[in-house]
Amino acid sequence: MKTTFPENFLWGGATAANQCEGAWDQDGKGVSMADIQTAGDKTTPRIVTPQVQPGVFYPSHQAIEHYQRYEEDIRLFAEMGFKLYRMSIAWTRIYPNGDDAAPNPAGVEHYRKVFETCKKYGIEPLVTISHYEMPYQLAKKYNGWLDRRCIDFYLNYCRTLFTEYKGLVKYWLTFNEINCSTLFPGGKMMLGVLPKEGQQFLFSASSGDMTENFQGLHHQFLASALAVKLGHEIDPQYQIGCMIAGTMAYPRTCSPADILLAQQTMEVGSYYCGDVQVRGAYPAFAERVWQLKNSKPVVMQPGDAEILKAGKVDFYSFSYYSSSCVSEDPQYAKTGGNMTFGLGNPYIQQSDWGWPIDATGLRTYLNEIYSRYQIPVMVVENGLGQDDKVEADGAIHDPYRIEYLRAHIKAMKAAIGDGVDLRGYTSWGCIDLVSASTGEMAKRYGFIYVDRDNSGNGTLERSRKDSFYWYKKVIASNGEEL
Ligand code: BGP
């Protein structure tokens, strides 16, 4: 039994453009869906404003200025020994409105420089093509992914990326956490749908009509499949993956009803999207999912099934933070937990932001996925969001983060021992950045501290946390020194 990481294992870290770049309106960039989201916190939800409003603080607008400081940041990643840097391209830097006739040359050049810098430091980029930041104009003019025309706009964008960065990039992900729109009605915001005047998308609302969610998602599936096909035509070396928000659903009790519910939760949460993107067809249980999730059946056009079949991904990637419990028993349904993570689990602890911490669940999930799909797997997000304290001497001691990551890396190692073909690991927010769910800076994931607070104050100076030196050792020893 193998219990070590493979020799060429891809260690690294992950970011997303809208959470780190800033420079939201520079060098021809258009407004994205992320640019109209206000800051929230643990208890205050982020608000999506109908357009960019003067005097409102939007955390993505400056973020941590990775746009200006990418060189310094990549140098720090290299110092830790990164082999892989997962990052995303802001669609609105390449096509500011989404439906422009030609790409924006300044945007194209920017990412070329970023990739060249990665190359200089021996880091392979892993590029998310769309990470929660659809061009605002596509939302406004077309209602986002509810309109099939967005497939063509997305493919134009992909064609530009695949052609311009041939030789500089090998790994691509078509959509970040594509399954999020299946989870709750407000997930349609991830599909580029704007709330109607005076309305808000509530991520805590678990009921409501989901027909638009599933239809918009169908269009993304088609776009993803066509992108995979196109990418392989442009460069057969390209490795193009799906990206799913992965979470293990456990039955809260051993009642058969709870076992069934846990299975169905996994189907909605992971396998519905995974099956389409990996196997190239909707699963047999699709109709039950639509029924369960209060959606009318997805409308397919002639030829759609063939498109899905011809665009199967090369590898399965996912984010993993937590597991959740589900139960039919109203006794548990009433207690603890939130919508996203289901019911509380008495066997596991939660983070300061209420996210359950369950490293064993990562091993279980890896085994589930690999035995189902039998294609290479990558963990492309994982980490602990927690605030850090800067000591008087400038040191930042973050043993809690090291403990979290150590446990999850051990779980991956065990999964490799189980036989899982795991190729890479990019921990989330390798440098502190804006939180997607709350818009805060205080929810820090980084090995690198960034001096900036929730209201946008700070020097933006970077400093190394204890976890920086720890992760460097982990990489240098290929996961042996934990
Ligand atoms: C994932 C997103 C990331 C990231 C991460 C952590 O769902 O793909 O963009 O932000 O979650 O979440 P948060 O920033 O809300 O703590």
Q: What is the 3-state secondary structure (H, E, C) of the chain?
A: CCCCCCCCCEEEEECCHHHHCCCCCCCCCCCEHHHHECCCCCCCCCCECCCCCCCCCCHHHCCCCHHHHHHHHHHHHHHHCCCEEEEECCHHHHCCCCCCCCCCHHHHHHHHHHHHHHHHCCCEEEEECCCCCCEHHHHHHHCHHHCCHHHHHHHHHHHHHHHHCECCECEEECCCCHHHHHCCHHHHHHHCCCCCCCCCCCCCCCCCCCHHHHHHHHHHHHHHHHHHHHHHHHCCCCEEEEEEEEEEEEECCCCHHHHHHHHHHHHHHHHHHHHHHHHCCCCCCHHHHHHHCCCCCCCCCCCHHHHHHCCCCCEEEEEEEEEEEECCCHHHHCCCCCCCCEECCCCCCECCCCCECCHHHHHHHHHHHHHHHCCCEEEEECCCCCCCCCCCCCCCCCHHHHHHHHHHHHHHHHHHHHCCCEEEEEEECCECCCCCCCCCCCCCCCCEEECCCCCCCCCCCEEECHHHHHHHHHHHCCCCCC
Which positions ≥6 away from 203 have C-beta within 8 Å? 45, 184, 186, 187, 339, 340, 437
267: annotated active-site residue: no
Q: Which of 21, 177, 212, 267 is catalytic?
A: 177
* pLDDT score for 304: 98
For ligand 1, what atom is nearest to the CA of residue 437?
Answer: 15
Nearest to 323 by CA among 359, 351, 352: 359
Q: Name the closest-CA residue to atom 14, ligand 1.
A: 435
When divided into structural domains, the chain yields a total of 1
Q: What is the whole-number distance in angstroms between the Cα of residue 67 and the centre of ligand 1? A: 19
* pLDDT score for 77: 99
User: Given ligand 1 and candidates 183, 428, 440, 443, which is best to mutate, with the most ligand atoms within 8 Å of its CB?
Assistant: 428
Residue 386 beta carbon below 6 angstroms from any ligand 1 atom: no
Residue 61 lies in a domain: yes
Q: What is the whole-number distance in angstroms between the Cα of residue 382 and the centre of ligand 1? A: 9
Phi, psi of 302 (to 5 degrees): -55, 135
Q: Name the closest-CA residue to atom 3, ligand 1.
A: 436
Phi, psi of 368 (to 5 degrees): -60, -50
Residue 37 beta carbon below 6 angstroms from any ligand 1 atom: no
User: Given ligand 1 and candidates 173, 175, 381, which is best to mutate, with the most ligand atoms within 8 Å of its CB?
Assistant: 381
Nearest to 172 by CA among 269, 277, 75: 277
* pLDDT score for 473: 98
> Looking at beta carbons, which pairs linking 49-57 to residues 24 or more positions away fall under 8 Å?
50/194, 50/197, 51/136, 57/455, 57/456
Residue 436 beta carbon below 6 angstroms from any ligand 1 atom: yes
Residue 166 lies in a domain: yes
Give the integer Cα–Cα distance in Å for 164 and 78.
Answer: 24
328: annotated active-site residue: no
CA angle in degrees (0–180, nearest 5) for 91-92-93: 90
Residue 410 lies in a domain: yes
Q: What is the whole-number distance in angstroms between the Cα of residue 270 and the centre of ligand 1? A: 17
Q: What is the whole-number distance in angstroms between the Cα of residue 28 and the centre of ligand 1? A: 27
Residue 435 beta carbon below 6 angstroms from any ligand 1 atom: yes
CATH number for 439? 3.20.20.80
Domain that holds residue 467: 10-476
Give the integer Cα–Cα distance in Å for 417 and 424.
Answer: 15
Cβ–Cβ < 8 Å for 343, 262: no
Q: What is the whole-number distance in angstroms between the Cα of residue 444 and the centre of ligand 1? A: 11
Q: Name the closest-CA residue to atom 10, ligand 1.
A: 436
* pLDDT score for 42: 86
Chain centroid to CA 349? 23
State pTM to two decimals: 0.97
Mean pLDDT by 10 residues, the chain (482 residues): 88 98 98 95 87 95 98 98 98 98 98 98 98 96 97 98 98 97 84 81 68 97 98 98 96 97 96 98 98 96 98 98 93 59 87 94 98 98 98 98 98 98 98 96 98 97 98 98 96
Q: Name the closest-CA residue to atom 16, ligand 1.
A: 435
Q: What is the whole-number distance in angstroms between the Cα of residue 278 and the centre of ligand 1? A: 23
Structure tokens at 220: 């993304």
> Looking at beta carbons, which pairs linking 27-30 to residues 24 or more positions away fall under 8 Å?
27/93, 27/104, 27/106, 27/107, 27/110, 28/93, 28/96, 28/104, 28/106, 28/107, 29/90, 29/92, 29/93, 29/96, 29/104, 29/107, 30/92, 30/95, 30/96, 30/97, 30/98, 30/135, 30/136, 30/137
Residue 443 beta carbon below 6 angstroms from any ligand 1 atom: yes
